[in-house]
Each structure stands twice: as structure tokens, then as C-alpha cells.
Amino acid sequence: MTHPTRAELGRGFCAPGSGKLETKVSAEDGQIVGRQRSSSADAAQLVVALTGASSGVGRAAARAFAAKGAAVGLMARGADALAATAEEVRGLGGQAMTLPTDVADADAVERAAEALEDQFGRIDVWVNNAMVSVFAPVAEIAPEEFRRVTEVTYLGVVYGTLCALRRMRPRDSGVVVQVGSALAYRGIPLQSAYCAAKHAIQGFTESLRCELMHAHSGVRVTMVQLPALNTPQFDVVRTRLPGSPQPVPPIYQPELAAEAIVAAASRPARREWWVGGSTTLTMLGNSVVPGIADRYLARNGYDAQQTGEPVDPRRGDNLFEPLPGDRGAHGDFDRAAKTRSVQWRITRHRRALALAGGGGSLALLLRRGR
């Protein structure tokens, strides 16, 4: 997959910094892991705050930003996975600051932002990605479980965005990337708490975008709407289903989502980025014939979210506390997951297609995207 150059990433929202060279190689809380650099990022280096950074989409995004030489503040709860992510960021040429954080705690998010800004001098991009979920019918989800999903998946985005705005608005520069889903527009059975949180993020982001436009602010907010992805979420999510949870096919690899997040950070004037043909079909279809979608999901939505394997009764979950260990970016569905998307190639390069008249370029993208 291709990514924007470092110059593209930094254009428009990097301010110069300076400081004495120092080396910090500890991956302990709030410490730098990376190459020897100044304590403040220079103008060519992007400084990224990334929530949910230790697993799945966040892990893939940390790698993608690191490959461009970014300094990445890694926010997540699990110490083992955070340390492993930091090592990967360093190996790819970036810098990492581990920031153990539960995004449901607004004060903790603010402390993480302060630490990252103190170390690197600024925050250029804030990516809100952290999430938890519960797989169960509405009547089987407890009030405290609804509250927890809302606090992490929705309010975590609000708290992160507020931290970003406090730092970006005085500079009149910066980008907030909200990691959304097709489920921000279309609810599905068995994931009511998660769908509700993603809908809330969508409404919050639209309100904020209008306010920034009204203020003629240089701060940008954009949202990336993702398809079903092969992440470890399905191994750690709380579930009351008889079958093991799975993403609804078609399934894509998390690196595709990471590419979209990096693209959104570099071109935030686009209000939304849709990723995957299934996302486009879901969102457009629901806007035209939502009743048909209701009936289809009532018939097929239960089986589509479960494998044929029963749930392990010893299975733990990460709803309230992180599970030990490091699960990386990929889940158990590598064989079924797609690494590329024709739709994404078209939307990623739509300006070039328009300038080229569409025909020949579209044919080329289709051939490459098979």
C-alpha cells in the first residue's frame, strides 16, 4: 500500500521546534522510545496522538505513521501491548511515547496530552480510535455495560477532541481524525451499544465541523468510516452469543484502515473518507431503503456475526480491564480478509481520476485492485 510522503503529512500543520539532543530508550510510562532526536519535534516531523494504539486498527495506524518518521503518542490500557507497539514504531523509524490511558477518564486523557506536548512541543494530529463493545441482544446488556461502551467509544472521542482543540486552536492549526464505521450510519443487531456510540460520534463531529467553519478556524476535523476488519477485537470483546464473534463479511485487513487514517491526516479538507465497497453500499443503501436493510439484517445479521465455533467458556474480555499480552493488529480471519479495495483506490485517487477524465485511470485502478 502507498502512503503520503512525510512532507505531505506535515504540510499545513507542523510548527518548528528545537531542543538539545538526548537519548531515552525506556518504554516505561511516558518515556520516549526511538531514534536520537531533539526533545521537540522539528518542522519535518509529524507529532501524532493515537488512542487505542496497541491493537487492531490503532496498531496498524501506529506502524503507518512510524514508517513516515512520525513521533507517536501511544495511548491504550495494556502495558504489554503498548511496549510491543513502541518497539515496532522504533523499528520502523519513528519515535514512540507510551501513555497508558483509559480514555473514559477525561483527566487521564488530558495528562497524556500534556506529557506528549511537553516532550515534542506540539500535537499536529489527534486520532480518536479507542473502542470497546458488547455482543448481545439489547435486553441482555446490563446498564453498566451500556455506560462503559459509551464512556470509552463515544466519550473517549469527546475527551480526546477537547484535548486536541485546547492545543490546536491557539495555533490555528491541526487535524482531528475520528475513526468511525459504516455502523455510524446503520445500526445492526447484537451491537446496539457500539452502534449507538458510533452514531453519537458522527453527530458530535458534524456539530464540531460546523463550529470550526463558523470560526474560520485552521483546525480541521475529518472522519474515516471503516468496514468490517480482521482485528483482535473479536477475541477480546464481551459476548453473550452462542457462537464466537466474527466481523460481518466482506472482511478487510487493518492496514487498509491505517492507510485511510494517514490519508485523512494529510488531506483533512475532505469531511469523510469511506473505506471498502461494503461501507459505501451500507451507507448509501440505508439512506435510500432503510426498511429493506432492517428486514435483511433481521434475517441474516445474527448468523453473519458468529462463526460455527462455540464460545470458549474460559474466555476473558477487555470491557472494563485490559487483558494481558500482545495481540498485534490482526485477528483470526487472515484467510478471509482482503488486503485491497477497488472502492478505496477510487476514492483515494478521485481527484486524479477526475483530472484524467476517468476512463483509462479507472481501468488501471480496477486492474490493480483485483
C-alpha dist (Å) from residue 355 to 267, 331, 344, 351: 18, 39, 18, 6
The CA distance from 72 to 358, in Å, is: 37
272 phi/psi in degrees, rounded to 5: -145, 150
List the grid coordinates of 129.
480510535
How far from each other are the two terminal CA atoms of the chain, in whole angstroms?
14
Q: Which residues is 71 bridged to in the sheet?
A: 47, 95
Do residues 5 and 63 lie in contact, with contact meaning Cβ atoms separated by under 8 Å?
no
Return the biggest CA–CA distance within the chain.
63
Cell 476512463 belongs to residue: 359
List the grid coordinates of 356.
484524467
Q: Please confirm, yes or no, whether 296 is among the known catalytic residues.
A: no
Rg (CA), the chain: 20
Among residues 154, 185, 194, 252, the one annotated as catalytic is 194
List the grid coordinates of 33.
522510545
Catalytic residues: 194
